Homo-oligomer: A and B are copies of this chain.
Amino acid sequence: MEKQTVTIYDVAREAGVSMATVSRVVNGNQNVKPATRQRVNDVIDKLDYRPNAVARGLASKKSTTIGVIIPDVTNGYFASLARGIDDVASMYKYNIIMENSDENDQKEMLVLNTLLAKQVDGIIFMGNRVTDKLRDEFSHSRTPIVFAGSVDDQESVPSVSIDYVESTAEAVSKLIKEGNKKIAFISGSLSEPINGKYRLAGYKQALKEAGIKFDEKLIFETDYSYESGIKLASQLKDTDITAAFAGDDRLAAGVLNGLTDQGVKVPDQFALITSNDTQVAQLVRPQLTSITQPLYDIGAVSMRLLTKLMNKEEIDEPTITLPYGLDSRETTKK
């Protein structure tokens, strides 16, 4: 019962028209007499014709596919962005080729190349670090690209994110207002601009405003895993540090659970604020006070921006900053 692939030519023959006409009705071109259109559509239904997107792509030089480079789908933060991206993409009839990069420079180059080979119409890049090589590749290719949930520190690429400096400053200020003087800054690698440049700047800014001297020893640079948070908790326990700002939720959850497991009362003895407001932040007990980010929207807006870029529309501001919030939950005093 295996049906042969039916092509536009089959439809044309069966409907007694040329391929060009079939193509016109399939693509909604108005230059077709209603009666003809009807007839063609009937044949399409009858034969169950489905246009070959690959052939279409070759002929039109558009693949209606966009590439998404994501560090790890398994990470709730990126998954939320991805969901926003996908929803808007399908709204605009684009499909998504997703590639996990593990934030690995080499892999990023590799997937970028396969995406370009696949003739994607645009690319959304998630990741916290951009090597010069990668940036070079971006700018050389005529394929539009936008960063979602991160900023290129050279601002050479359109991006959508929140203001990491201000939000961090606000979080740290809150910690200070609640009486904390020794506040740890916990994040992933400081070589990533989001940590080493923006968040750290916000942290310092808050300290400065409060007249607190910056202390190098309060900076804890690690990776983004839950386990690292647990480990960090043991280190934190025997110091006079009374609060921490964390750049990642899983990391923060690790710190929180580690602290609690060791008998430290949060928030009474230790206050904690995290950054991404993923579901994790609300699943743990006590619930993590967090900077809130419109994760889904960041993804959605990125994709929307990309559609404009692909249509060669004029963009007034390529670096879009979305509003953030600060949700006081249970790991801070009030």
Does A135 reach chain B (CB closer than 8 Å)?
A: no
Task: Tell me whether B87 and A114 are in contact (CB under 8 A).
Answer: no
CA distance A52 to B118 in the complex (A): 7
CB-contact partner of A285 in B52, B54, B117, B257, under 8 A = B257
Q: Do A54 and B63 form a contact, CB below 8 Å, given A74-B83, A99-B95?
A: yes
- Check A91 for interface membership: any CB of B closer than 8 A: no
Given known contacts A119-B54, A284-B284, A82 and B87 CB-to-CB distance under 8 angstroms: no
Chain B contacts for A55, CB-based, 8 A: 58
Q: Is A264 in the interface zone, CB < 8 Å from B? A: no
Which residue of the partner chain, among B87, B118, B284, contacts A283 with CB atoms under 8 Å? B284
Cβ contact within 8 Å between A73 and B65: no
Please measure, in the bound complex, the distance between the C-alpha atom of A279 and the C-alpha atom of B274, giving whole angstroms. Answer: 18
Task: Please determine whether B96 and A97 come into contact, CB atoms closer than 8 angstroms.
Answer: yes
In the assembled complex, the Cα of A82 lies from the Cα of B68 at a distance in Å of: 14
Decide yes or no whether A260 CB sits under 8 A from chain B.
yes
B-contact 0/1 string along A28-66, CB 8 Å cutoff: 000000000000000000000011111101100001010
Contact of A53 among B53, B100, B118, B285 (CB under 8 A): B118
Which residues, 93 to 141 on A, are CB-close (under 8 Å) to B? Answer: 95-100, 113-114, 116-119, 140
Q: Are A54 and B50 in contact (CB under 8 A)?
A: no
Partner of A54, one of B3, B80, B118, B142: B118
A 268-309 contacts with B by CB, 8 A: 279-280, 282-285
Enumerate chain B residues within 8 angstroms of A82, measured Cβ to Cβ: 73-74
Are A98 and B100 touching (Cβ within 8 A)? no
* Also in contact, A50 and B95, with CB within 8 A (given A3-B140, A79-B73, A79-B79): no
* A116 / chain B contacts, CB cutoff of 8 Å: 50
Given the complex, which residues of B lie within 8 Å of A95, measured CB to CB? 97, 99, 114, 118
B residues within 8 A CB of A79? 73-74, 79
Please pick, from B1, B73, B113, B280, the residue contacting A73 in the complex, using a CB distance under 8 A: B73
Q: Which of B63, B83, B97 sits near A72, CB closer than 8 Å?
A: B83
The reply on A226 being an interface residue by CB < 8 A is yes
Please give, as numbers and ranges, the residues of chain B lying within 8 Å of A100 by CB-CB distance. 83, 86-87, 90
- Contact of A76 with B by CB under 8 A: yes
Tell me the bound Cα distance from A97 to B89 in angstroms.
12
Cross-chain pairs A/B with CB under 8 angstroms, 17 sampled: A2-B142, A3-B140, A53-B117, A53-B118, A53-B119, A54-B58, A54-B63, A65-B97, A73-B79, A73-B82, A74-B82, A87-B100, A95-B99, A96-B97, A97-B98, A226-B283, A253-B283
Q: A54-B119, A86-B99, A226-B282 are in contact. List 15 more A-B contacts (CB 8 A).
A: A3-B140, A51-B117, A54-B63, A73-B73, A73-B79, A73-B83, A73-B86, A79-B79, A87-B100, A96-B97, A226-B279, A226-B283, A257-B285, A284-B284, A284-B285
A-B interface, 3 closest residue pairs, ranked by CB to CB distance from nearest: A54-B57, A53-B118, A53-B117
